[in-house]
Structure 1
């Protein structure tokens, strides 16, 4: 009995140590991507009610999620800003395949904390045919629980490339969204999501279309 108890305790201790090691490794990875881990929000989950919002587009028009959902599902993407090459590549890929998303009955739109002047110029330069919406007070980012504070090391790295988040962002602080994507059904429920603090990972057009086909 004593041997079995010791073996059980050893297994539990081993699992605990592995768990702690895994958490430490995960934290180190997130910090590498500029995340202050203690500030990282978990993102809304599939089945949750989507946060309803309104905002101004690159063309100074009103975007209303509630109204957009009356036409069909809405794909809501969060991007860090026009300065982010991974964001630009992803949005260009989406724009190239936008007709397929629209053929599936959905609307694609993207949200950024960047200043209106910057994201409007970005949209014009890239020729985007979908709406970009500013989030000047981070209300939408917080509503979808994708906000995090950027650590000092990453901020300093960006400044070397003349990218100061306290000047680029409307709110004038170094907060960013996890580059997440949420697909919202017409009932206002989230039916699919991609949430990864690793800014290199995105929901592909193929994955978006697959989720839309499942509705």
Structure 2
């Protein structure tokens, strides 16, 4: 079964981080800057204009960590597709989500669906993500977050947040091999084999993630409708 307490784990990490109980202790000013950036991204309304259920998925071809091209068309030819856009190996919230998706992978596979993660980071960092989180599904390299942009979820970090990230040692131009400070909003999609999005969850607050168990009824419906 998938991890039923993903949000509990995210909340616990956030509480420890903000209380200074972890090895890295953020200053009050840095925490306020992070909260401000999240509030501003929510207020922008960008998440509401992103690709949603009922939309046709933008086609893509992305490389896996070994440099092998993977196309959305080939994936959908096998059945339904679960996609998770995530920020990178440096993001502890993202790593907790990847672990929860890995726990749910047997349930997803049993329903005839594939699972991929998509990140702007380099192939080397994706290999590290797969290794550290013991993943049995591929991480695809979205250079420049171009596919994320096609889904409407790419955003540029404000200058004040760039400074906070630099202070944490999160040098995105090096991590992503891309001079622009852009990231995808965390998002999860389920796409039917017809290329139509059946489920979409986009949250500009990266500390909030839906539980993988939410995907299973969607996959069941797709499987039933395909068999009908």
TM-score bucket (shorter structure)? 0.7 to 0.9
**C-alpha contact 1:76 1:183 (8 A) present in aligned 2:** yes
Q: CA RMSD in A?
A: 2.1
**What do residues 166-203 of structure 1 show as CA deviations (whole Å, max 9, x unaligned)?**
22223221101010011100110000110110101223
Alignment partner, residue 187 of structure 1: 194
TM-score when normalising by structure 1: 0.81
TM-score when normalising by structure 2: 0.76
Alpha-carbon distance, 1:38 to partner: 5.7
**What do residues 92-147 of structure 1 show as CA deviations (whole Å, max 9, x unaligned)?**
11112211110011111011111222122221222211010011132211111110
**C-alpha contact 1:147 1:178 (8 A) present in aligned 2:** yes
Q: Equivalents in 2 of 1:65, 1:185: separation in Å?
A: 11
Q: Number of paired residues?
A: 188
Unaligned runs of 5+ in 2: 1-33, 223-228
**C-alpha contact 2:144 2:182 (8 A) present in aligned 1:** no
**C-alpha contact 1:39 1:148 (8 A) present in aligned 2:** no
**What do residues 17-68 of structure 1 show as CA deviations (whole Å, max 9, x unaligned)?**
xxxxxxxxxxx96623674966946310111000111111123222111011
Looking at CA atoms only, which structure, 1 or 2, has the larger radius of gyration?
1
Is 2:155 the counterpart of 1:148?
yes
What secondary structure is seen at the aligned counterpart in 2 of 1:139? helix
Task: Tell me which moved more, 142-151 or 31-40.
Answer: 31-40
What secondary structure is seen at the aligned counterpart in 2 of 1:59? coil
Is 2:62 the counterpart of 1:55?
yes
**C-alpha contact 1:30 1:37 (8 A) present in aligned 2:** no
What secondary structure is seen at the aligned counterpart in 2 of 1:82? coil
Alignment partner, residue 14 of structure 2: none
